[in-house]
Structure 1
Amino acid sequence: MGHFWTFLTYLNSLAGPTVMLLYPLYASVRAIESPSKLDDEQWLAYWILYSFLTLLEMVAAPILQWIPIWYQIKVAFVAWLVLPQFRGASFIYERFVREQLKKMVGRAGKDHKKEHEAN
């Protein structure tokens, strides 16, 4: 049973970087080279969300260390973001991130316009 657990440990160690970095890097390069803009949107959304998740993980590290399966949850979530069958990154970007950005940019644009008019 010892060799099996060692194998699972190595598999777990390889799954994260493969799902979170290697495949997305490969797919991003392919997307840039393809004429379609749909895949560009998926991979730009992925990198935005992955960056946000990484920042969140840095800030919440003291809390996340108490969740024993945090890494497995993260890998499963990122797999959902990455896999073309789900297009999770595009889904989350369209449903949640885009609206927040519109609000922030709209507010910043109004503030900038007020500053410009005051000068």
Structure 2
Amino acid sequence: MGKSWSLISHLHTVAGPSITLLYPLYASVCAMESPSKADDEQWLSYWIIHSFVTLLEMLAEPLLHWVPVWYPAKVLFAAWLALPQFKGASFVYEKLVREQLRNYRARYPRKGAAAAAVGGDDDDHKVHIAKAEAEHDHVQ
């Protein structure tokens, strides 16, 4: 059992970074070099969600230390986000992140000098969002 357990432990330590970092890094570079915008969206979505999960993980580390299934669950979630068969990152971005951004922007529209200093007014952002949604709908 000792050698088998050692092999499983070693695979575990290689699988996590491979699924959460190496494959997404490679696929992101490939997406940047391809003419399609759909894969760019998938990988930008992945990195946004990965960053958010990493931040949450850092904040909740004392609690997660006591949850023995956290790391395997995180690796499975990252696989679902990253694998092209599932397009989980695009799904999560569409259903959660984009919806929260819309709610936030509707609740707190940027106006006046502060908006101009940051790069325009609320109408510019609405046009940008509409263009991005039109491109996204056209690609699918």
Do both share a fold (TM > 0.5)? yes
| CA displacement at 1:107 relative to structure 2 | 3.3
| CA displacement at 1:26 relative to structure 2 | 0.2
The residue aligned with 1:100 is 100
| CA displacement at 1:103 relative to structure 2 | 1.9
The residue aligned with 2:111 is 113
Query: 1:25-75 deviations in whole A, cap 9, x for unaligned?
Result: 000000000000000000000000000000000011111111011100100
Q: What is the alpha-carbon distance in structure 2 between the residues aligned to residue 107 and residue 32 of structure 1?
A: 34
Say what the alpha-carbon RMSD is for the aligned residues. 1.4
Q: What is the alpha-carbon distance in structure 2 between the residues aligned to residue 90 and residue 51 of structure 1?
A: 15
- DSSP-derived class of the 1:99 partner: helix
- DSSP-derived class of the 1:66 partner: coil
Q: What is the alpha-carbon distance in structure 1 between the residues aligned to residue 87 and residue 68 of structure 2?
A: 27
Q: Map of 1:66-105 to 2, 5 A cutoff?
A: 66-105=66-105
Q: What is the alpha-carbon distance in structure 2 between the residues aligned to residue 113 and residue 56 of structure 1?
A: 31
The residue aligned with 2:45 is 45
Show structure 1 runs of 4+ deviating over 4 A.
Answer: none
Q: What is the alpha-carbon distance in structure 1 between the residues aligned to residue 68 and residue 51 of structure 2?
A: 22
| CA displacement at 1:13 relative to structure 2 | 0.1
| CA displacement at 1:114 relative to structure 2 | 6.0
- DSSP-derived class of the 2:111 partner: helix
Give the TM-score taking structure 1 as reference length.
0.90
The one of the two structures with greater contact order (alpha-carbon pairs below 8 A, sep at least 6) is 1
Aligned length: 114
For structure 2, the residue ranges without an aligned partner over 5 or more in a row are: 115-140
The residue aligned with 2:2 is 2
Give the TM-score taking structure 2 as reference length.
0.77
- DSSP-derived class of the 1:96 partner: helix
The sequence identity of aligned pairs, in percent, is 60
The residue aligned with 2:61 is 61
